[in-house]
A and B are shown apart, each in its own frame.
Chain A
Amino acid sequence: GAVVSQHPSWVICKSGTSVKIECRSLDFQATTMFWYRQFPKQSLMLMATSNEGSKATYEQGVEKDKFLINHASLTLSTLTVTSAHPEDSSFYICSARVGWRTPSTDTQYFGPGTRLTVL
């Protein structure tokens, strides 16, 4: 089955530093990847949609200059949290969609998530 990996699985950083999270589709090509954020006891909130070779589309209220997304290849998307602050501490999950399927029948494959703690 389709596998999506994330690296790192957890990271602790100091306030003001930047953190990069990688999302990889291991055995398929993903033209579209999604980044979600999940706070404790809450559901997943879509942050942005990342299309290979083009700029990411951010959801309302998500700062694009703070959460930099790069989708440079069909198997890799990165999320960089710039100048991280304690309120950015959260669980970040990516997902990938197989490019050739239609939205009505496809499914997203989710990564295992990255726990970010900003001190």
Chain B
Amino acid sequence: KQEVTQIPAALSVPEGENLVLNCSFTDSAIYNLQWFRQDPGKGLTSLLLIQSSQREQTSGRLNASLDKSSGRSTLYIAASQPGDSATYLCAVIRGETSGSRLTFGEGTQLTVNP
């Protein structure tokens, strides 16, 4: 059974800092990994999707890396801003036979202080 773990559970940083969020998964046979942002009481916004054949994806100040062999992914946020405050979730698609079923980690709650 695939398990996804995110560390740390919560993180508070001053504005402008660069930070790294970690995600690990137990079964390396994944099809892709996706990072989401969730604001309080809201749905999910997809940030980055990394296919299993890729090692990283970048979008603006965000960079996500994937190391399938070690079962890890990181989300790097450069020059953090108060608007980045949210919960960040990583999720993996477990495999072809499971279609698009995502397994989520429990998230990292990020607070960026002005």
A residues lining the B interface (CB < 8 Å):
4, 6, 32, 34, 42-46, 49, 91, 93, 95, 97, 103-113, 115
B residues lining the A interface (CB < 8 Å):
31-32, 34, 36, 41-46, 49, 51-52, 89, 91, 93, 96, 98-107
Whether the Cβ atoms of A44 and B99 lie closer than 8 Å is: no
- 13 A–B contacts from the bound complex (CB under 8 Å): A34-B100, A34-B102, A91-B41, A103-B99, A104-B51, A104-B93, A106-B100, A108-B100, A108-B102, A110-B43, A110-B45, A111-B43, A113-B42
Give bound CA distance, A106 to B31, whole Å.
Answer: 10
Contact of A113 among B41, B99, B102, B103 (CB under 8 A): B41
Residues of the B chain whose Cβ atoms lie less than 8 Å from the Cβ of A93: 43-44
Give bound CA distance, A103 to B33, whole Å.
Answer: 11
Nearest A residue to B98 by beta-carbon distance?
A103
**Additional A-B contact list (10), CB under 8 Å, known A44-B91, A104-B31:** A34-B102, A43-B105, A44-B44, A46-B101, A97-B99, A104-B51, A104-B93, A108-B102, A110-B36, A113-B43
